[in-house]
Amino acid sequence: MTSYEIAIWVFMLAAFLGFELIRRVSPLLHTPLMSLTNAISAIAVVGAILITGEKEASTLSRTLGFIAVVASVTNVVSGYLITDRMLRMFKKRSPEKK
Q: What is the mean pLDDT of each run of 10 residues along the chain (98 residues)?
A: 88 91 79 78 87 87 90 88 81 71
Q: What is the pLDDT of residue 12?
A: 95
Q: What is the pLDDT of residue 9?
A: 94
Cα separation values, 9 from 13, 18, 20, 23, 74, Å:
6, 14, 17, 21, 27
Q: What is the pLDDT of residue 10?
A: 93
User: Is-above-0.75 flag for pTM?
Assistant: no
Q: What is the pLDDT of residue 90?
A: 76
The domain locations on the chain are 26-90
